[in-house]
Each structure stands twice: as structure tokens, then as C-alpha cells.
């Protein structure tokens, strides 16, 4: 066995963590709580979910649709409304980056756009 060190990377999907587990309700420090959970397990490199067909962070790019942006007035559960609120109130990506900087974590971004939702290219 070699003496090389392995880096374990964690993957954060904050919306899934909060949206799919009834025991996980938003705390107001959701990005920090998620990052702290990784750090408490010795995982200091975290791949942060930036979105799929919509983005999970606040963006100044024109035409970008943010998660939950078009759901106003839709029938949502109490938990869905609470999760929507955390993404609306502040940018969870920026909160994770700032907290990671304070705690010595490395944050990588992962953006996975779903091509099947766009018109076919001929």
C-alpha cells in the first residue's frame, strides 16, 4: 500500500435533503448545517449542487430560472413552502462558500443541465 493520501468528497443536494425527508425542516442556517455535517465526518471537500434544468442559487444571468421561482400560488405542502422560502430568502451557494471559507472547506460546484427538456436540435 502506498503512502498517498485520499481525499473523500461529499455531495450536497440541499433541496433534496430538506424536501424529501419529513424529519428535516429548514433551520435558517441550512447551508451551514449541511456543510457542518460533512465537516463533522471529516469531509472537507464538498461538491455543491448548482442545479439541473433550473439553478439552485441566485444568479444575475438573464433568462435563468431559479428553483421554486415559478411555483408561487401552486398547491404546496407546508414542507415544500418552507424549502421554497430558504432558497428565496438567500443564496444557499453563497452561504456555503462563505461558511466553507471560515471553516476551511473546499466547495466545488456541480451544474447538471437536463438536455431532454429542450427542443430537439436537427
User: Between the CA of residue 82 and those of 18, 37, 87, 103, 109, what are the distances in Å?
Assistant: 9, 21, 9, 27, 24
Query: What integer pLDDT is reported at residue 112 of this predicted model?
Result: 79
Min mean pLDDT across 5-19, 38-52, 91-105 is at 5-19
More confident site: 98 or 70: 98
pLDDT of 69 > 80? The answer is: no
- 105 neighbors 44 (Cβ within 8 angstroms): yes
Query: What integer pLDDT is reported at residue 120 of this predicted model?
Result: 54
Question: What pLDDT, in 10s, does the model give residues 73-87?
Answer: 678 788 777 888 888
Pairing of strands 9-12, 45-51: parallel
Give the E-state strand segments of 18-117 in sequence order: 45-51, 106-111
Grid cell listed for 43: 469531509
Residue 29 CB-half CA count within 13 A: 7
User: Which of the four pLDDT bands, split at 50, 70 and 90, describes residue 20?
Assistant: confident
Euclidean distance between CA atoms 107 and 116, whole angstroms: 28
Query: What integer pLDDT is reported at residue 122 of this predicted model?
Result: 47
Question: What pLDDT, in 10s, does the model give residues 30-62?
Answer: 999 999 999 999 999 999 988 877 778 888 877
Query: What integer pLDDT is reported at residue 85 of this predicted model?
Result: 83
> Would you list the DSSP string of 1-45?
---PPP--EEEE-HHHHHHH-TT----S-HHHHHHHHHHHTT--E
Grid cell listed for 102: 471560515
Q: Which of 7-11, 48-52, 103-107 has the highest mean pLDDT?
A: 103-107
Amino acid at each position: 500500500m502506498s503512502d498517498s493520501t485520499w481525499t473523500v468528497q461529499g455531495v450536497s443536494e440541499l433541496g433534496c435533503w430538506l424536501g424529501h425527508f419529513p424529519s428535516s425542516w429548514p433551520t435558517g442556517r441550512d447551508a451551514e448545517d449541511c456543510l457542518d455535517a460533512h465537516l463533522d465526518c471529516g469531509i472537507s471537500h464538498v461538491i455543491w449542487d448548482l442545479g439541473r434544468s433550473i439553478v439552485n442559487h441566485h444568479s444575475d444571468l438573464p433568462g435563468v430560472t431559479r428553483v421554486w421561482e415559478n411555483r408561487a400560488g401552486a398547491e404546496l405542502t407546508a414542507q415544500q413552502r418552507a424549502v421554497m422560502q430558504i432558497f428565496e430568502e438567500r443564496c444557499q451557494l453563497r452561504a456555503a462558500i462563505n461558511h466553507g471559507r471560515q471553516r476551511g472547506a473546499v466547495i466545488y460546484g456541480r451544474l447538471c443541465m437536463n438536455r431532454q427538456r429542450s427542443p430537439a436540435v436537427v
